[in-house]
Amino acid sequence: MRIRIIGVPSAWGTRELGAQRTPGLLREHGLVDWLSRAGHQVDDAGDVDVPPQGEADIWRAPDTKGGLVHVAEVAAMARSVRAAVGAALDDGCLPVVVGGECSVCIGAVPALAARRGPVTVAWLDAHGDMNTPDTSASGLITGMPCAAMLGHGDPRLTAIGDDAPRPEPERTFLIGGRDLDPGDVNNIAEFAIQHLDTESSRASGPEQVAMRVLGVPELAVIPPEARAQIVALDPAAAAAIAAAPRPNVYLHFDVDSLDPEFAPGVHDQVAGGFDPAEVATLAGYLCASGHVGVITVASANLDHDVDHRTMDSVRTVFASIADALAAVGSQHTRPNHRPLTPAC
């Protein structure tokens, strides 16, 4: 498979510098090699254009409308992401977008949707990212991108996806949310997205969560031995997943979905998260379906890393993704994806 890395050196959605260094640091530690290990052809497109940012910029007062912070810069970043992701898809590549913070989705989701129709969203995150200017206490856009992607929020952000189909709420899955503020709670209910918190996700297991996202009604169709060994999915299991009725998946991996024990190097730690094997299995199952169209990773701030734990955890997840993508070979890039069918 052809994979294209797109760096987004932006911390503009936050008031903390650090996330903008993550693409460069992951490259230094072998990002291309992590994804190449299964024989994929990986090219690194470098970083998209992002307005430069320094300490003075980060603490600048909110922009006028709605009290949003850095909205012009986030919008500029997201437009750059949309163009780069679109170009990668047009070139037959699987874009792997490396943030940065979660606002990368404001550009990445419509880039995918404009080409392949409404997106099924697998959003791994300790937070809801579901605020709008009306519900946000901080005005920070890093708490709003999931809502903006769905079309709710400041028009300077939502406009970036206005010309593409929006994700359907019943196919938008927040996975691992465990630090939800009142705006998140309100909007998760109001927008009627699916929320699978860490505990319920863990109770059902990452394989079952993946099957739910993919719309495979019965995990029973997956042989037990394949459940335990995602990197070596047997052909029958891969075929069952590939036949899933939801062919257009956006996989968003906020590193804070991991427990701080395994990933202390994030913008905002929240206890009680997944371990790397759980995320690796979930991401692996999704990627083994052949239906993942764009992958984003965000919210790592490696200034806070301890003993390379965060780096090692991200590598574990990417290794699983690479192996799972290899298991389906060229299915992903076949020109005509199956048409969408009604949700199960």
For Mn ion, the binding residues (CB under 5 A) are 102, 125, 127, 129, 254
Residues 99, 253, 118: CA angle, nearest 5 degrees: 95
100: nearest Cα among 173, 8, 192, 29: 8
- Specify the residue, 129 or 154, whose C-beta has the smaller distance to Mn ion: 129
CA distance 96 to 74: 19
Q: Which is nearer to Mn ion, 102 or 292 (CB)?
A: 102
Q: How far is the CB of 129 from Mn ion (least distance, A)?
A: 5
Q: How many CA atoms lie within 13 A of 40 on its CB side?
A: 35
Shortest Cβ 89–Mn ion spacing (Å): 23
Q: Cβ 212 to Mn ion, closest distance in Å?
A: 21
Question: How many CB atoms within 10 Å of residue 341?
Answer: 11
Place of tokens 């320094």: 54
Shorter beta-carbon distance to Mn ion: residue 256 or 305: 256
- The distance of closest approach from Cβ of residue 127 to Mn ion in the complex, given in angstroms and rounded to an integer, is 5
Q: Looking at beta carbons, which residue is closest to Mn ion?
A: 102
In the numeric block, which tokens belong to residue 126? 């300790």
The span from the CA of 102 to the CA of 257, in Å, is: 12
Nearer to Mn ion, 127 or 315 (CB): 127
CB of 209 to Mn ion, least distance (A): 18
CB-nearer residue toward Mn ion: 73 or 129: 129
Nearest to Mn ion of 146, 325 (CB atom)? 146
Structure tokens at 164: 């593409």
Least distance in angstroms from the C-beta of 182 to Mn ion: 17
Strands (E), the chain: 2-8, 41-47, 94-99, 120-124, 172-175, 194-196, 249-254, 292-298
CA distance 174 to 186: 14
